[in-house]
Structure 1
Amino acid sequence: MSIIRIPLNGVWFFKKLEFNEYVDVSKLDFTAEGWLKAEVPGVVHLDLMRNGVIPDPFYRMNELEVSWVEEKDWLYVKEFEVSDHIVSKGCLELIFHGLDTYAEIWLNGVMLGETCNMFHPWIFKVDGLVKPGRNILVVRFKSPSKVLEMLESKYGKLWAAFYTARVYGRKAQYSFGWDWGPRLPTTGIWRNVELLAYDEARLGHISALPLRISEEEALVEVEAEVYSIKPGHVRLIFKIEEENTEVCVEGLAKEGLNVFRSELKVKKPKLWYPRGYGAQHLYTLNVLLLNNANILDSRRVRFGIRSIELQRIKDAEGECFIFKINDIRVFCKGANWIPADSFLPRVDKEVYRKLLEAVSEANMNMLRVWGGGVYEADDFYDLCDELGIMIWHDFMFACGEYPEEDFFIASIKREVEENVKRLRNHPSIVLWCGNNENEWGFKARWWVRDRFYGEKIYHKVIPEIIKQLDPTRPYWPSSPYGGDDPNSPSEGDRHSWDVWSGWRDWRAYLLDNGRFISEFGFQAFPCIETVESFTAEEDRWVQSQVMEWHNKMHEGTERLYRFLAGHFRVPENLEKFIYLTQLNQGEALKTAISHWRSRMFKTSGCLIWQINDCWPVISWSLIDYYFRPKPAYYYVKRAFSPIYIALNLRGRNLQVSIVNDTLQRIRGVLKLTIQKLTGELLFSKTIEDLEVEANSAKECLVVDVENFRGAVAVAEASFNGSKVVNDILIGEFKHVE
């Protein structure tokens, strides 16, 4: 194998500069005063914390104490040795897999280029610049906020939530602050950096896309990019390891990028299914690049065989919005995913594993990767493939107008192309979505403008790339989207925020008949241990300044009080207050999920906002920053059970429905009892020989409970030997004596 990779991670050195301060990169002495050690991959905030320069930004209100960091430039330097053998190679490439965000790069005093997008790799040809022996690599990061404000001043202010200038940057939008996250726009070499050396050619992106699938055979299109130093004959062997089937492609490669395609047939394909619907079978495609008998490069990628259809058919309520995987209608149960840390290099495979296994254990089968974050690392998607977690994947645009200048469109095209190529092999990704809430914001007049800035991106640029690179998946322009009203309850997907944002009681969820609920949520405190991690003792009361700083929602504390007072007696004790907000969150989410699941396939999915946090905070999450589940996590786990008794209190009537996500008809017995808390029985009814069809919901019973206020209804069912139980209080917890 003639490909040589030299990692340039590990120890670097860095120092602070003023914005645009002149520095002679040919005369750097990083042993002098002012230079500090850095770790790559990393970001400047983590490096400053390790060196004791700044405090932990997550503690108390230290976010304000470190705000100066984003206003400075930061100079990073790496010294590395290279042998004569490496220098003699025909091509040397310096690859930064992630630079956040505005950087200038020099190698041995020669400027290689500038970067402006953190979402894709940056590759620089450096043959002729790398020397045998000692080499000096310099990266200067410019202040992100200063650069963005200069762009905004030049091209004009656009509307955006939280910080208007952010929309001019291809940088994680949440880093400038959100209603659940701090303002910590950091900079740094946030993913791996390496020197690549080779003589003739190397492989680029590899793909295996299933085109036609039947029970007998699947036709898989295989594709490989080949980067060649000069024109020449190459041979590629594509082999599916599990099937021992292969195809050889030969051709003349021109200098630069080449794309070679072929097809492979898989007999009796083993399909990939979402969690709960079948096995998550994965295949391995092995690709060899050869010149004569010499192997120049090789790659292995995993892929799955499955079909996807987004079913949209007119019906009595408008138009359905149903995911069909392998011709099976799937009710999507899940949550929204945000970046798991404000400082992304801390998010490793173990972090992904903890959170994604918790998602799976909660009976969820879908996550929505939200558009204000990042395209996650490969480990995230690998784990979703293995666990059967479908992904609704936004592109990284959220809550704002976006520019359409040529420089911006060019950057977006490269970003979208790179990430679609990188991620398209993952069977877990079932939908590409253009943005988060931008179409809704325009139509709802969040900003008063007749032109929809960004429309070209979501309705032309992205879909054209998807059509070319990944025609196997549906594309959806925005979320929410559908009809004249993008947040329509009768078609498309819907963000259900009438409760939390609209100050309405959580029983109002029962009035929302959206076709696919891609966002809904309800806040609660994290547990007391997490609260103690970000507070001093004097901060530990609900309305302290520090406590309210860690709830970024507008009037967040006021809403917690309002919603708590609606159902519980409001305590003065902090720990009791924390616990009751958690129970209130659980009851709210249970109410919503029970309603939408009882409408199975009239409503075809509900995704909770949100599964996780990026720092210790009072938010809508089910699992806090330290991986501690809130009580609502367990409410949701039960409410998402494959067989579930949905109890919906609609006015004076209690509706009892059985939801059956399994692919088998179930038969059993249902018993409903209503009793006082003293144990006195008020009502009992049993239904024998109850049948519920596969993959369906059935209303079984409606009871007038007007005279049973303050009592508890308990529904028990036994299906095929398995017991299912649910209960509901008829009335308010605050009235219970």
Structure 2
Amino acid sequence: MAPRILSLDGVWYLRGFKPGEGEKKGAYKEDYKTDGWIKARVPGVVHLDLLENGLIPDPFYGLNEEKVRWVEEMEWWYRREFDLPEDIVNMDAVEIHFMGLDTFATIWLNGVKVGETDNMFIPWVFDVKKLVKPGRNVIAIKFAPPTKTLEEIKAREEKMKRVFLPPRAYGRKAQYSFGWDWAPRLPTSGIWRSVKLIAYNTARLGHIAALPVKVTKEEADMRVEAEVYAIREVEARITFELSYGEERYDKVVQLRLEPGYNEVRTSIRVPKPKLWWPHGYGPQNLYQFKVKLEGEGELLDEKSTRVGIRSIELVQEPDEEGKSFIFKINGVPIFCKGANWIPADSFLPRVTREKYEALLNMVVEANMNMLRVWGGGIYEDDVFYDLCDEKGIMIWHDFMFACAAYPEKSWFIENVKREVEEVVKRLRNHPSIVLWCGDNECEWAESGRVISHRIIPDICARLDPTRPYWPSSPYGGKDPNSPHEGDRHSWDVWHGWLDYDGYTHDPARFVSEFGIQSPPDMETIEAFTAPEDRWFFSKVMEYHNKQPHGNERIFWYLIMHYRIPRDLEELVYWAQVNQGEGLKTGIEHWRRRKFRTSGCLIWQLNDCWPVVSWSLIDYYLRPKASYYIVKRAFSPILVSLVKEGESVSVYIVSDKLVDMNGKLEFMVQDVNGNIFYREAIDVKVPANSSIRVMSKDLKDLPISDRTTQYLLARLLVGDKVVSENVLFLERVKHLKLPKPNIKAEVKKVDPKGLRFLVRIRTDKYAKAVKLKLMGIKAKFSDNYFDLLPNTVKEVIVEVEEPTSEEEIRRKLTVTSIYTVE
């Protein structure tokens, strides 16, 4: 008989007590009355239930984060009743599985203490066979105050180096929840992932895995394995099956199970495997993997998942600049384009499949192929990794340690070992994960080396030999943040106050963090401010930038390149564009260096609350101007102009795996559309390369007024422009950009009124053209683009509700940046 599973998700009851009072009052007892308790939702966290019941204000609004600080100081209790039929109670084993408890929990069942937990990242399983009974059962869970608990641990342990709230490093809880330079201090408590009761006879399956240990085009050697938990000694049969469409490959293992934990391992050979590729390089083929456990003449358990077959190599070879750092997938070197992922909410149960999918779709649409799951957050829900598998998004995966020296005593190390084993076993089937990384910036912080250099790599080597392991980020050479080997966090720009042209002097081999801040969309600002707070240096606006003096720094970077904005709306617009142009400077530089530099990951993709931060996409999924500018800079084919001394060079970067022939046009033009110089040459661009195709001395070009003239390069394949770029030789604030006359035409291209083609034209150079539909939620295929004189740009606009052409015309606004009225 297959296991019986009873979900304990849904409605529970919740109450807060002063620390220690709940137990004194008997809140764990079977007959305790829950009069006055509030309804709670599981999965959930305390803050969400208090908010739902009107007991706290929205922590994201104004200065309310401070008003809810009391929540983390309380002890919180959850209770619920559930009925069990006699046949479940009489099965050989009855277990309760908590997929996530946040964090310091004590569990009672029918008045009897079951166990305690101290790690939010892993599942907790308790044997409750002797405690359950037919009919009514009562479960009670106490959550100790997280900060107080950690402060008590800190007081009795060694003092070590760390930033932000120091006690955080003594617990296995999401580090960002205690506050970061982009996150509020909202440490949560609660049953944040699902709860289920599992009853079974004889034996059940645990984790299963199919790992591609050796892959060629001709054959893949798959290591397949399964965990089996047996009640007693029994003869068993385990069938492993890999399938793709009509193809089937299986292996049967007969064995005698011992009571307790068993591990079964064998191999399956797959001829001519259908390989999994990153986005932009090939299809994301996924195999079905199924494991059946049979014994005593019946099916005891069955599990299935999806796996991908691909090879990964991290190439680190000496060269003239130091040592390379190149990911090869299926033998093909990949330039990694992407961003750092942080948890998508401070209250994690609010992150739905729909939110994951929306964000990950935006990743793919921005021409990205990699995300770094940052080490101060969480190991995400399974759906996140499933979607990355489907979409071809590679994952650089940190373990959850960040910016601290962590304890190295046995009590902490044993907790870490269990966490790492559970995480690797849960996630190793996902082909999207291409690297395990020990931590974020702990090596840079000169922390201890036991966890990242011994504990984690030993477990990864044993459980997952298919992926490279990297001890920390950044890491490389005698200098952990070396530009000559390993990965680098490029923060001379922004944290070091260097202007963003400083990126062009950074020869990093792989940039795993770089970034510039900007405010979120005005609608987002309006969601967390009152009208009187809507100026950039108001207390609320400063509070919603968690970096000290962050708003002042944004303003400083802005006025280095742009004129002083007249109001908040103009500041938001210009600062987002400035952020994008800074990121573009870095991206184009590192892509021109392909594969001397082999990747650049922006800090950061997303936000966990409405905030002024480094993100490309704000908390409400509104893309900033920088999102679109980055999308163009990450295009598979990129023309890039760069001033090198007193000359200008034109590069073409191609991520395509075939050679390409085309024509390069190079021009000197002015903002009114006058052409002063034109040249066209035939070019051949090798596959997967960066090549300099032209270099010109500026003194030889007819440039007489740098405030109105610019350089233009475009690549044509046939009659199609596949990439174009411009270069001004002065900063925007010094340009004479006339106010353009921009015209927009709207045409419905979907009979349902959900898709429209907008054709935009201008008589003069239009800087950072911004399209917006007032009062209509819309998605634009492109936005915040520069429009050249007497040219036409086509943009696809998608809306969520059927809309007429007339309404789109009426509500469409078109804005640009100009300096001359």
User: TM-score w.r.t. structure 2 length?
Assistant: 0.87
1:558, CA displacement in angstroms?
1.1
Give, as a single letter, the amino acid of the residue that structure 2 aligns with 1:195: L
Which amino acid in structure 1 is aligned with residue 157 of structure 2? Answer: Y
The corresponding residue for 2:344 is 340
Which of 438, 442, 456 pairs up with 1:438?
442
**What are the residue-to-residue correspondences of 1:680-691 with 2, within 5 Å?**
680-688=674-682, 690-691=683-684
Would the alpha carbon gap of residues 353 and 234 (structure 1) be closer, same or farther in structure 2, given more than 3 Å must change? same
1:267, distance to aligned residue in structure 2 (A): 1.3
Do structure 1's residue 709 and structure 2's residue 698 form an aligned pair? no
Q: State the 1:32 CA deviation.
A: 4.7
The one-letter code of the counterpart of 1:100 is D
Residue 734 of structure 1 corresponds to which residue in structure 2?
733
2:259 is matched with which residue: 250, 255, 263?
255
Is 1:666 the counterpart of 2:691? The answer is: no
1:468 is matched with which residue?
A: 462
Mapped partners of 1:560, 1:623: distance in 2: 17
Which whole-Å CA distance do the structure 2 matches of 1:19 and 1:159 have between them? 29
Which structure has more relative contact order (CA 8 Å, sep 6+)? It is 1
Secondary structure, in 3 states, of the residue corresponding to 2:590?
helix
In structure 1, runs of 5+ residues without a counterpart are 443-451
1:302-344 alpha-carbon deviations (Å, 9 max, x no partner): 1011000000010000001000000000000000000000000
Give 2:487's aligned residue. 493
| Alpha carbons 2:28, 2:108 under 8 Å: kept | no
Correspondence 1:122-271 to 2 at 5 A: 122-242=124-244, 243-271=247-275
Match of 1:634 in 2: 628
| Cα distance change on mapping 1:716 and 1:607 into 2, 3 Å | same
Whichever residue aligns with residue 470 of structure 1, its letter is D
- Contact in 1 for aligned 2:30/2:138 (Cα 8 Å): no
Contact 1:284 1:302 in 2 (8 A): yes
- Structure-2 separation of matches of 1:367 and 1:475: 16
**Could you tell me which residue of structure 1 aligns to residue 673 of structure 2?**
679
Deviations for 1:645-691, whole angstroms, at most 9, x for unmatched residues? 11223443322100010000011100111222122323322212x01
For residues 190-234 of structure 1, give each alpha carbon's deviation from its aligned partner in whole angstroms, at most 9, with x where no partner exists. 000010000110000000001222222111111000000111111
Q: 1:175, 1:182 within 8 Å by CA — same for their partners in 2?
A: yes
CA distance in structure 2 between the aligned counterparts of 1:561 and 1:214, rounded to whole angstroms: 53
Distance in 2 of aligned mates of 1:652 and 1:127: 79
- The separation in 2 between residues aligned to 1:26 and 1:62, in whole angstroms, is 32
Asked if structure 2 preserves the Cα contact closer than 8 Å seen for 1:157 and 1:165, the reply is no
In structure 1, what residue type is equivalent to 2:363? V
Residue identity in the other structure for 1:626: Y
Correspondence for 2:18: 18
| Distance in 2, Cα, partners of 1:328 & 1:241 | 25
Q: Which residue of 2 aligns with 1:352?
A: 356
Deviation of 1:557 (Å): 1.1
Please give the alpha-carbon distance, in whole angstroms, between the structure 2 residues aligned to 1:646 and 1:365. Answer: 20
Asked if the contact 1:337/1:370 (under 8 Å) is kept, the reply is yes
Please state whether the residue corresponding to 2:443 is helix, strand or coil: helix
Cα deviation per residue 1:217-252 (whole Å; 9 max; x = unaligned)? 111111000000111111101111222221110111
In the alignment, what sits opposite 1:445? none
Alignment counterpart, residue 596 of structure 1, candidates 567, 584, 590: 590
* Contact 1:70-1:144 within 8 A present in 2 as well: yes
For residue 378 of structure 2, give the secondary structure of its aligned residue in structure 1.
coil
Pair 1:74 & 2:89 matched:
no
Is the contact between residue 28 and residue 141 of structure 2 (CA under 8 Å) also seen in structure 1? Answer: no
- Give the 3 Å change call, closer, same or farther, for CA 360–393 of structure 1 in structure 2: same
Quote the offset at 1:157 in angstroms. 2.5
Number of the residue aligned with 1:549: 543
CA distance in 2, matches of 1:718, 1:544: 49
Q: Distance in 2 between matches of 1:730 and 1:517?
A: 27
Give the equivalent residue in structure 1 for 2:285: 281
Matched, 1:411 2:421: no
Question: Are 2:96 and 1:98 aligned?
Answer: no
* Preserved contact between residue 580 and residue 625 of structure 2 (Cα < 8 Å): yes
Q: For residue 371 of structure 1, what is the aligned residue in structure 2?
A: 375
Task: Report the AA paired with residue 265 of structure 2.
Answer: R
Report if aligned partners of 1:597, 1:646 keep a CA contact under 8 Å in 2. no
Asked if the contact 2:339/2:370 (under 8 Å) is kept, the reply is yes
Whether contact under 8 Å (1:540, 1:547) holds in the other structure is yes
Deviation (angstroms), 1:726:
1.5
Distance 1:77 1:715 in 2: 66
Q: Equivalent residue for 1:2? A: 2
SS in 2 for 1:441: coil
Tell whether 2:651 aligns with 1:653. Answer: no
Question: Structure 1: which amino acid aligns with 2:496?
Answer: G
Distance in 2 (alpha carbons) for counterparts of 1:399 and 1:436:
6
1:41 shift after superposition: 0.2
In 2, Cα distance between equivalents of 1:638 and 1:268 = 36
AA of the residue aligned to 2:219 = E
**Structure-2 separation of matches of 1:674 and 1:177:** 50
Paired residues of 1:705 and 1:730 also in contact (CA < 8 A): no
Pick from 429, 433, 453 the counterpart of residue 433 of structure 2. Answer: 429
SS at match of 1:181: coil
Q: Check the 8 A contact 2:533/2:541 in 1, yes or no.
A: yes
In the alignment, the residues of structure 1 paired with residue 150 and residue 366 of structure 2 have an alpha-carbon distance, to the nearest angstrom, of 40
Measured in 1, the distance between the counterparts of 2:84 and 2:671 equals 77
**Paired letter, 2:6:** I
- Residues in 1 aligned to 2:312 and 2:505: alpha-carbon distance in whole angstroms: 30
When structure 1 is superposed on structure 2, of 175-184 and 28-37 the one drifting more is 28-37
Cα separation, 2, equivalents of 1:501 and 1:582: 18
CA deviation map 1:348-390 (0-9, x unaligned):
2111100001000111000000000000011000000000000
Residue pair 2:670, 2:710 contacting (<8 A) in 1 also = yes
Amino acid at match of 1:353: E
**Is the contact between residue 47 and residue 71 of structure 2 (CA under 8 Å) also seen in structure 1?**
yes
Aligned residues: 726
Cα pair 2:119 2:173 within 8 Å, conserved: yes
State the match for 2:556 in structure 1.
562
- How much does 1:106 deviate? 0.2
Q: Cα deviations across residues 45-88 of structure 1 (Å, max 9, x unaligned)?
A: 00100111001100011000000100110010011101111100
Mapped contact 2:220–2:270 kept (Cα < 8 A): yes
Q: Does 1:296 align with 2:300?
A: yes
Task: Report the alpha carbon displacement of residue 28 of structure 1 after superposing the two structures with TM.
Answer: 6.5
Cα distance between partner residues in 1 of 2:276 and 2:149 = 45
Please tell me the residue identity of whatever aligns with 1:136: V
The equivalent of 1:58 in structure 2 is 60
Distance 2:631 2:29 in 1: 60
Following TM superposition, by how much is the alpha carbon of 1:705 offset from its aligned partner in structure 2, in angstroms?
3.6
**Contact map agreement 2:655 2:687 (CA 8 A) in 1:** yes
In 2, are the aligned partners of 1:510 and 1:650 still within 8 Å (CA)?
Answer: no
The equivalent residue for 1:447 is: none
The Cα offsets for residues 509-566 of structure 1, whole Å up to 9 and x where unpaired, read as: 1111100000000111111000000101110000000000001112101101110110
The amino acid of 1:377's aligned partner reads D
Q: Does the aligned pair in 2 maintain the 1:86–1:197 contact within 8 Å?
A: yes
* Runs (5+) with no aligned partner, structure 2: 737-821
**Structure-2 separation of matches of 1:696 and 1:460:** 37
CA contact under 8 A between 1:54 and 1:66: conserved in structure 2?
Answer: yes
Contact 1:567 1:734 (C-alpha < 8 Å) held by counterparts = yes
Distance 2:191 2:548 in 1: 33
Asked whether the 8 Å contact 1:666–1:720 carries over to 2, the reply is no
